Structure 1
Amino acid sequence: MGKKGGNKTGSKAATAPAETASETELSPQKKFDLLKNNEKLLKVTSVDFRQVVESHVLTDKLIQKSISIESEIDPGFPKRDENSIQELTKWMVKFGAKIDGVEIKEMEDFGYGICASRDFSEGEFIISVPRKLMMTTESAMKSELDYHIRNDPMLAHMPNVILALFVLLEKFKGDSSFWAPYLNCLPPSYLTVMYYSTAELDALKGSPIYEPSLKQCQNIARQYVYLRNLFHKHTDAGSLILKKYFTYEQYRWAVSTVMTRQNFIPASSPDDPMILALIPWWDMG
């Protein structure tokens, strides 16, 4: 349902960590307008799926209105370049990663990816990434998200959402985040279905991915409204960080990041199942 990277026209590409992002707050009227619009969005995305096909045009209009209102507070997205790639590699090596004979390069028509800088023999070592550099659901549970992970029934059963929120939590911390060098190298947008226009979704009619694509867009929009309401109702540490910049565009980006980059790795405890992880550098391939 999506590729690792892509630059769709109109996406924000400026790096804007939390401490340098606009301090603008929505006016009372715009807060009210956003609340009412999101109430409609929640209603239209909570219908029986048989009605989703008929209502996806309205869903998209409501999403676009939320995006428009939230544009005043949206902090933007990373703008990765050669310098940010170099900083990522330095950070990786500093904290124990081993990288041999490969490099991250920008390739025409394909974006950034891992390229060999020499010939390899079969079975030869290429790269190892220490667990402490990975963003995992385990590390999320040790973060400011802990309160919601323990108390919210949806998050308790959706590790992919936990990881997406962890990405946003650390992104909104800006350069103070341990994972800032990694987050600054992520694409500013993706080619997942959440970025498709109504016309692009309609072009999928008749294909086996049409209905799953609509359902996915419906689910992400509904989750966005639910989570935004959740953070604005609480004053725990995680909510205080997330509520200020949590927008539809930010959530769509974080979900797409996880969708296109997630890996399963063994949990720290042998009694636990596999866990979701984002593996810096490795997931550039």
Structure 2
Amino acid sequence: MGRKVQSKQNSRKRNSKEGNKFVQQRRKELSILVDKLLKLTTIFQATQYSTVAISWEHHLQIEAIIKEIVNIENSATKVARNHRKLNLEKYVNWLHEHGAKFEGVEISEFDGYELGLKATKDFAEGSLILTVPTKVMMTEKNANESDLGPFINVDPLLQNMPNITLSLFLLLEKSTPDSFWKPYFDVLPEKYSTVLYFTSEELQEIRPSPAFESSLKLYRNIARQYAYFYNKIHTSDIPVLKNLQDIFTFDNYR
């Protein structure tokens, strides 16, 4: 009996060591790719003059690195599927509970557009349709007063770009099971129809448009931000950043 127990304990230790080695190897691979991504996006950002053709070639290089990063991150992260439509009632009740007021509208599904707001009656011009109290809004003030505050205070990018501050705060709160905003998170889509989710083939479709170059720039900026914050999160000694290490992925950030 004693030998069996000892054998099981030894097996668990071996599995634990192997698991740690895998995590360390994965992070090492990611770190190399992230550094490569940061250098690539930073060098191009510093270039004053470039043609659309050069921007496109550069985008393909960035996209190739991002694909490798996403493959590694997804292999180690279990993504729970969110059935957002099943959570709508809880979300609406949560809004009412905290002072939101709306009548004559409802959340409905639209073909090709997923969920949206639908009027169930006619409204006169200038009518008040809904009232949303500050309490249910996720604001920069919430982020500053949270555990993320110490990081915001020392990071120049977060101090000057509140949209990024809110992105990190949302990610942090979303990983908290008892978050105040959980009913809101539970109805968010898993992916969006922005250019950040376009394949290179889909981007090519808008190449004749002025939006093409803007789309490449947006993708490049998000890639650079991801690389910047990945390094910060994994090298800084601010306690809250340890909570972000396993959940800060490119898919989650974009």
Query: So what's the TM-score if we normalise by structure 1?
Result: 0.75
Cα shift at 1:78: 6.0
Give CA-to-partner distance per residue, 1:136-180, whole Å, 9 cap, x none: 111111111111211101111111111111111111113x11001
- The reply on whether 1:121 has 2:124 as its aligned counterpart is yes
- The reply on whether 1:236 has 2:232 as its aligned counterpart is no
Q: Find the partner of 2:158 among 155, 158, 179.
A: 155
Give the counterpart letter for 2:128 in structure 1: F
Give CA-to-partner distance per residue, 1:39-73, whole Å, 9 cap, x none: 11112111235254322111111000000000134
Q: Find the partner of 2:28 among 4, 19, 32.
A: 32
Cα shift at 1:221: 0.6
Equivalent residue for 1:194?
A: 196
- Alpha-carbon distance in 2 for matches of 1:47, 1:84: 44
Give CA-to-partner distance per residue, 1:13-52, whole Å, 9 cap, x none: xxxxxxxxxxx87522221111111111112111235254
**Structure richer in helix, relative to its length:** 2
- The reply on whether 1:94 has 2:97 as its aligned counterpart is yes
- Whether contact under 8 Å (1:96, 1:130) holds in the other structure is yes
Cα shift at 1:77: 6.4
Cα shift at 1:123: 3.3
Matched residues, number:
228
- Alpha-carbon distance in 1 for matches of 2:145, 2:190: 27
- Whether contact under 8 Å (1:45, 1:52) holds in the other structure is no
Equivalent residue for 2:114?
A: 111
Which of 126-135 and 112-121 deviates more? 112-121
228 and 58 in structure 1: CA distance in 2 versus 1, 3 angstrom threshold: same
Give the counterpart letter for 1:150 in structure 2: N
Give the counterpart letter for 1:65 in structure 2: E
- Alpha-carbon distance in 1 for matches of 2:197, 2:111: 22
- Secondary structure at the aligned position of 2:75 is classed as coil
Percent identical across equivalent pairs? Answer: 37
The structure having more radius of gyration, on CA atoms, is: 2
Give the counterpart letter for 2:31 in structure 1: L
| Runs of at least 5 residues in structure 2 that lack an aligned partner in the other structure | 1-18
82 and 37 in structure 1: CA distance in 2 versus 1, 3 angstrom threshold: closer
Give CA-to-partner distance per residue, 1:75-126, whole Å, 9 cap, x none: 5366243331111001011111112111101122221111112233333332
Query: So what's the TM-score if we normalise by structure 2?
Result: 0.83
- Alpha-carbon distance in 2 for matches of 1:215, 1:112: 29
- Whether contact under 8 Å (1:37, 1:66) holds in the other structure is yes
Give the counterpart letter for 1:29 in structure 2: Q
- Alpha-carbon distance in 2 for matches of 1:250, 1:109: 23
- Whether contact under 8 Å (2:173, 2:179) holds in the other structure is yes
Equivalent residue for 1:48?
A: 44
Equivalent residue for 2:79?
A: 76
- Secondary structure at the aligned position of 1:244 is classed as coil
Give the counterpart letter for 1:107 in structure 2: F
- Whether contact under 8 Å (2:84, 2:188) holds in the other structure is no
| Runs of at least 5 residues in structure 1 that lack an aligned partner in the other structure | 1-23, 253-285
157 and 56 in structure 1: CA distance in 2 versus 1, 3 angstrom threshold: same
Give the counterpart letter for 2:111 in structure 1: E
Give CA-to-partner distance per residue, 1:201-241, whole Å, 9 cap, x none: 23332321122111111111111011011111234343122
Equivalent residue for 1:21?
A: none
- Whether contact under 8 Å (1:103, 1:115) holds in the other structure is yes
- The reply on whether 1:221 has 2:217 as its aligned counterpart is no
- Alpha-carbon distance in 1 for matches of 2:239, 2:105: 39
- Alpha-carbon distance in 2 for matches of 1:72, 1:54: 28
- Whether contact under 8 Å (2:34, 2:230) holds in the other structure is no
- Whether contact under 8 Å (1:91, 1:181) holds in the other structure is yes
Give CA-to-partner distance per residue, 1:174-206, whole Å, 9 cap, x none: 3x1100100111111011111111222233323
